[in-house]
Structure 1
Amino acid sequence: MNKIKGLFKSKTTWFFLILLLFIYVNNSSLFAKRGEGAPLLLAHRGLGQTFSMEGIENDTCTAERINEPEYPFLENTIPSIEAAINAGADLVEIDVQPTKDHNFVIFHDWTLDCRTNGQGVTRDYTTSELQALDIGYGYTADEGKTFPFRGKAVNLMPTLDEVLGYFPKTPFLIHIKSEDQNEGIQMANYLEKLPESRLEQLTVYGGDQPIAALRERLSNLRTMSKATLKKNLLIYTAIGWTGYLPASLKHGQLHIPEKVAPWLWGWPNRFLNRMDNADTRVIVVEGNGSGFSSGFDTSADIKRLPEDYSGGIWTNRIDKIAPLYNK
């Protein structure tokens, strides 16, 4: 009887040892080669003004706390997008807001009071009314003593149509900033008119409800929401060690906080290879994911990434980060 128990324990021990060895080998980046190409660089809102992140909340007017301007660009405008592309951006993130006449304009805030000389919400104004506003009106670096962009940014709020037309080959990450299901339906109506080749260059992310509505209409579009991100990360945590990826993890986008990334099975190279095979784009964001617009904006930030990291990087300072990769 003791011999049988000993044999059973021995087989069980060997089983777990072999299983642990399999998990290690199957998830070690030591055995996962990556290409030598530079990381994909995502320029958040193009190239815009920087601001202090200290004590910032969702309703903080960031235009009132900008740093001394280093360049003449305002976020989410055609000049700022063009500057980001010229600086080396592979992908540009833009924010969309609905208008009264069922259009989309490129603008970060759902209210106008912070940045412009208008008041209220974008959806209460027509496209022409919004474009007549001065979107540089509220920017100040010295607590309201001077306004360096006031009077210089009238007619600079573009429509989504104008941006996609001006940059016909540029990949964009489109941000729906509400939880309104109707915005997802409106976006689907708009995107359905675009050729398949253009849709392949676009990704849409945002609130759970609009993204769910959008995916229902355009299942082949690359999308992401908080709900899909959480679901996919939980699934990967549970079964990713096997190398198997379910359908929900294919042809999507994952924004991975840098402090979460090291805990993912196979991080970095094995994980990135798996996501490449699943046609899922990986973008690393700074911190633990709770920060406001947190990006890799300095050379010191980049040094925290694995030396051979070749996934995507979220940055607010494409002008500072692209040169580090000779872009």
Structure 2
Amino acid sequence: MRKRTVALFGVLVAAAVIWALNSSLLADSTKRQPMLIAHRGLGQTFSPVGIGNDTCTADRIYPPEHPHLENTIEGFRAAFAAGADIVELDVHPTTDGDFAVFHDWTLDCRTNGKGVTREKSLEELKALDIGYGYTADGGKSFPFRGMGIGKMPSLGEVLSAFPDKRFLINIKSDDIAEGRLLARKIGALSPEQQKLIMVYGGGKAIDAYKAALPDAVVLGTDRVVPCLLRYAALGWSGYVPEDCRKTLFMLPANYAPFAWGFPNRLSERLEANGSTLVILGDNDGSKYSTGVDDIATFNKLPARFDGAIWTNRVDRIGPALAAPQ
């Protein structure tokens, strides 16, 4: 009986220690506004049902509620105006040594062009209509056709237009040369502007970028699963694994409550290790995660949340976040 009592006491003490290490009730009581990450700025959204790596999303958009296209200077400006703290954008290298801001690997879906994006010069890409392929009614009408001519910006144009804004740049390949080229472009910026840039993408490209700019905040996509698994095993102790440091710690909203220390103890310990907690939309078990794009999903977040919110509809979530609580 005495041994059983001692064992029970030990279990209770261990449980109390784990609770104390992970309870947000014991986190810093200073409430901070969550950051908003606008995915591709403000653009047209679409149904995520049946999305695959090669799905053309321009021909399945919802009926437009605003005039902006993703990955454009106008869309970025609208995103910042709606409350975005960080804008995510996609880049591809061009044949003349520049970077074009565009999502797709090929041009056939969104534009009136054909072929692989990175096999074109910046001049060729700027001649295209990037609104050409958008339709919400199966091709009966194309509301943005003719409106996107010359609207594909270079990375330099974007950074010059918003010198004091924060960006998260997505490298679309696993190419070492691409990582090095991007590092040269970012390394040519002022130290102050470099601090505003984060980069994520394929492991080899990210490793090359990080080797050139050791202080940069990066997320190698091949680190995501090891980070989450190691944190699941060890995070109860407050330990943040190496793979989870100086990066973005991304969690779908429906998985987040099961992470050790969520929300604010987790946010604190990540911040102490140079990382940012980022909440995505719900994930249904597929590889595709949505953003926090509607008020119902936004309302599922804790009343106090100190991380960042990933959204495709900053025009909805920005005003909701700014509204008096």
- The verdict on a shared fold, with TM-score over 0.5 as the criterion, is yes
Select which of 36, 42, 45 maps to 1:41.
Answer: 36
The aligned runs of 1:1-327 (5 Å cut-off) are 11-288=6-283, 290=286, 292=288, 294-326=290-322
Structure 2 unaligned spans of 5+: none
* % identity of equivalent residues: 46
AA in 1 matched with 2:63: E
Tell which structure's C-alpha radius of gyration is larger.
1
Moved more, 10-19 or 265-274: 10-19
Output the CA distance in 1 between the equivalents of 2:252 and 2:314: 19
Query: 3-state SS of the aligned residue for 1:156?
Result: coil
Aligned length: 322
What is the CA-CA distance between 1:247 and the residue it aligns to? Answer: 4.7
Output the CA distance in 1 between the equivalents of 2:26 and 2:32: 18
What is the CA-CA distance between 1:272 and the residue it aligns to? Answer: 1.0
What is the CA-CA distance between 1:114 and the residue it aligns to? Answer: 0.6
Aligned residues of 1:100 and 1:122 also touching (Cα < 8 A):
no
What is the CA-CA distance between 1:220 and the residue it aligns to? Answer: 1.1
Deviations 1:171-211 (A, max 9, x none): 00101122223221221222222222212111101112211
AA in 1 matched with 2:273: A
Q: Normalising by structure 1, report the TM-score.
A: 0.92
Output the CA distance in 1 between the equivalents of 2:124 and 2:289: 28
Deviations 1:73-104 (A, max 9, x none): 11000000000001111110001111111211
Output the CA distance in 1 between the equivalents of 2:52 and 2:315: 26
Aligned residues of 2:227 and 2:241 also touching (Cα < 8 A):
no
What is the CA-CA distance between 1:246 and the residue it aligns to? Answer: 4.6
Moved more, 149-158 or 206-215: 206-215
How large is the RMSD of aligned CA atoms in angstroms? 1.8
Output the CA distance in 2 between the equivalents of 1:194 and 1:49: 31
Deviations 1:235-287 (A, max 9, x none): 32222222233554332211111232122111111111111222211110012
Which position in structure 2 is the counterpart of 1:3? none
AA in 2 matched with 1:103: D
Query: 3-state SS of the aligned residue for 1:15?
Result: helix
Structure 1 unaligned spans of 5+: 1-5
Aligned residues of 2:282 and 2:289 also touching (Cα < 8 A):
no
Output the CA distance in 1 between the equivalents of 2:216 and 2:117: 26
Aligned residues of 1:112 and 1:122 also touching (Cα < 8 A):
yes
Distance 1:99 1:184, change over 3 A: same
Deviations 1:204-246 (A, max 9, x none): 0111221122222222110112222222222322222222335
Aligned residues of 1:26 and 1:241 also touching (Cα < 8 A):
yes
Moved more, 18-27 or 314-323: 18-27
Q: Normalising by structure 2, report the TM-score.
A: 0.93
Deviations 1:106-160 (A, max 9, x none): 0010100111111001121111111111111111122112211111211100000
AA in 2 matched with 1:61: C
AA in 2 matched with 1:91: I
